[in-house]
Amino acid sequence: MRRRDRLAEDGWVAEFTEIYEAMRATPMNDWVGGSDPEQVGDACVALLRSLVQLNGESRVLDFGCGIGRGLVSLHKSGIRPRQLVGMDIMPPVIDFCEQHIAPRLANTQFELIEGDNDHYDRFIEQRDRQSHAALSAKYRDHFTDGYAFSVFTHVTRDDFQKLLTFVASMMKPGGRFLLTCFELNAYSRHMVMAGQSMFPLDRQRMADAGNIFIANPDDPLAFIAFDAGLIRDMVWRAGMAVTKVKYGCWMGGGIGDGLQDLIVCTKLPEIRNAQDVPMTALVARDPVAKSPSLTVRARRLLRRLTS
């Protein structure tokens, strides 16, 4: 590496170090889940990049960005998106991001948005916040990619649907949005009921006809799991479809890369004219059977198999 490039790289690394140090020093790091912010951010980004292709042309939404652990690690991983927008309902975390991150990361901005959350309301003071309607209009069909780490693990069923619909309105058709959640499916239900999941979950806490699981009735949004079919239905109602899933290790039994389940939703693409759809040619079986390089026996066998 040339000296000038090395100095630029050193300056770049120093910028990240200063941001992570500010994160470590603020009590807000505990509000968003605690642990070392750099390690958490890097782990989230590794999972994101294993499922969603990002590059310098991406316009990325970090929904429920908190103090920006994910988006700083995204830059650190070498992705410099064309635009990166962090949104959150808590004024202090957005203030933190505007003070410590926006001046240092190119093309990055933050929006303080409306919303209530019983788990976070104690940190929300009265301030003017952008309405969903205003942001839907500002960013309509805009983001190519997006993610929400540890947000849909802390919202009510009504908010799950409302927030997905809001996010979908801002995604470009065909755009990908990764969310983390706790999914109730045959395996996770079995493991929770058998007392094998990674958290000490009370097995009796099923609600909403068994579609929702709440760990702590005193703080129901601290840990909330939703039925797999219910999640797919809500994603579909929002105008997206579940296109990839990676399960987390919270279920127990040694499965999963991360802690939470990862679900990639794709906003339904625009419908094209039939002649504009790039189709793969069907395999023609006849010419293979007539290929001169096949022995007579092989050709006979192929004909018998394909007739």
How many Å apart are CA 176 and CA 60, to the nearest integer? 10
Residue 81 touches ligand SAM, criterion: CB under 6 A: no
Name residue, tokens 């339904």: 268
Residue 163 touches ligand SAM, criterion: CB under 6 A: yes
Q: What single DSSP character describes residue 2? A: -
Give Cα 101 distance to the centre of its chain: 21
Residue 89 touches ligand SAM, criterion: CB under 6 A: yes
Q: Which of residues 23-42 bind ligand SAM (CB under 6 A)?
A: 32-33
Q: Are strands 83-88 and 108-112 parallel, antiparallel or unpaired?
A: parallel
Q: Cα-atom radius of gyration of the chain, to the nearest Å?
A: 24
Residues 6+ apart with CB under 8 A from 285: 306
Question: Which residue sits closest to ligand SAM, CB atoms considered?
Answer: 66
How many Å apart are CA 31 and CA 66, to the nearest integer? 8
With CB under 6 A as the contact rule, the residue among 19, 23, 93, 167 that binds ligand SAM is 93
Burial track 251-275 (b if 16+ CB lie within 10 A, e otherwise):
bbeeebebbbbbbbbbbeeeeeeee
Q: How far is the CB of 22 from ligand SAM (least distance, A)?
A: 14
Residue 43 touches ligand SAM, criterion: CB under 6 A: no
Q: How far is the CB of 64 from ligand SAM (least distance, A)?
A: 3
Residue 86 touches ligand SAM, criterion: CB under 6 A: no
How many Å apart are CA 265 and CA 175, to the nearest integer? 8
How many Å apart are CA 223 and CA 181, to the nearest integer? 9
Residue 88 touches ligand SAM, criterion: CB under 6 A: yes
Q: How far is the CB of 180 from ligand SAM (least distance, A)?
A: 8
Residue 178 touches ligand SAM, criterion: CB under 6 A: no
Residue 96 touches ligand SAM, criterion: CB under 6 A: no
Of the pair 38, 227, the CB lying nearest ligand SAM is at 38
How many Å apart are CA 3 and CA 6, to the nearest integer? 5
Pick the closest to residue 85 from 56, 112, 107, 61 (CA basis): 61
Of the pair 65, 228, the CB lying nearest ligand SAM is at 65
With CB under 6 A as the contact rule, the residue among 42, 48, 61, 66 that binds ligand SAM is 66
With CB under 6 A as the contact rule, the residue among 20, 96, 120, 213 that binds ligand SAM is 120
Q: How far is the CB of 163 from ligand SAM (least distance, A)?
A: 6
Residue 238 touches ligand SAM, criterion: CB under 6 A: no
Name residue, tokens 């490039």: 5
Of the pair 117, 189, the CB lying nearest ligand SAM is at 117
How many Å apart are CA 260 and CA 173, to the nearest integer? 26
Q: How far is the CB of 37 from ligand SAM (least distance, A)?
A: 7
Stretch that binds ligand SAM, among 4-12, 13-21, 51-59, 148-156 (CB under 6 A): 148-156
Other Cβ atoms closer than 10 A to 300: 12
With CB under 6 A as the contact rule, the residue among 20, 96, 110, 149 that binds ligand SAM is 149
Angle 56-61-67 from CA coordinates, rounded to 5°: 105
Residue 64 touches ligand SAM, criterion: CB under 6 A: yes
With CB under 6 A as the contact rule, the residue among 73, 108, 117, 197 that binds ligand SAM is 117
- Both tokens of 231, joined, read 């999640």
Site residues (vs ligand SAM, CB under 6 A): 32-33, 64-66, 69-70, 88-90, 93, 113, 115, 117, 120, 149-151, 154-155, 159, 163
